[in-house]
Amino acid sequence: MKILRMTLAALSLSAVSSMVLAAGNPLSVHVLNLENGLPSPGVNVTLEKHVGQTWEPLAQGVTNEQGRIGELFPAKQAFETGEYRVVFKTGEYFKKTGHETFFPEIPVIFEVKNADQHYHIPLLLSPYGFSTYRGS
C-alpha cells in the first residue's frame, strides 16, 4: 500500500511539473523516429514568426535525449496571435546518424489564435516521410 501511495504521489508531481512547464513557456516540440520508435536527440529546430511578407527568426534549439525542446519560445518576448513556423533540420540529423533522407528540413507552419494556450508540435519522422499534429 505504501508503494502504491508513493507511486501515485510521484505521478501527481510529474503531471503538475508538466503543467508548470507548459504554463511557463507557450511552445514545445517533440521529435520521434518512426523507423526505430525512439526519440530523436540532436535535431536543430528554429522558430520564426510571419511578419508581412517575411519570416522573422525568434529562437532556435536542439532536441534533448528525449527528443524534446520544452521551451522553444523566447522567454523575454510576448507570445502573440499570428502565424509561426517551426523548422526541423532533419537533413543534419540524419547525416549525423549515418542515414540518407528525402527531406533536408521540415517546416511546420501553424496559427496561434489564442496566445493564452500552450502549443506543442510533435514530429513523427522517418527518412522518407513525416507526420505532425497539434499535441498537448
Domain extent listing, the chain: 25-132
Structural fold of domain 25-132: Immunoglobulin-like (2.60.40)
Threshold 0.85, pTM exceeds: no
Q: What is the pLDDT of residue 20?
A: 42
Distance separating alpha carbons of residues 23 and 17, to the nearest angstrom: 10
User: Position 100: which residue type?
Assistant: E
Distance separating alpha carbons of residues 88 and 71, to the nearest angstrom: 15
* Residue 6: how many other CB atoms lie within 10 Å: 10
> Which is nearest to 48 in space by CA: 24, 15, 72, 14?
72
Q: Are strands 106-112 and 82-88 parallel, antiparallel or unpaired?
A: antiparallel
Per-residue pLDDT tens, the chain, 136 aa: give them: 544 344 334 434 434 334 444 458 999 999 999 999 999 999 999 999 999 999 999 999 999 999 999 999 999 899 999 999 999 999 999 999 999 999 999 999 999 999 999 999 999 999 999 999 999 8
Q: What is the pLDDT of residue 136?
A: 85
Integer-rounded Cα radius of gyration of the chain: 17
Known binding positions for substrate: 30, 68, 133
CB 32 within 8 A of CB 124: yes
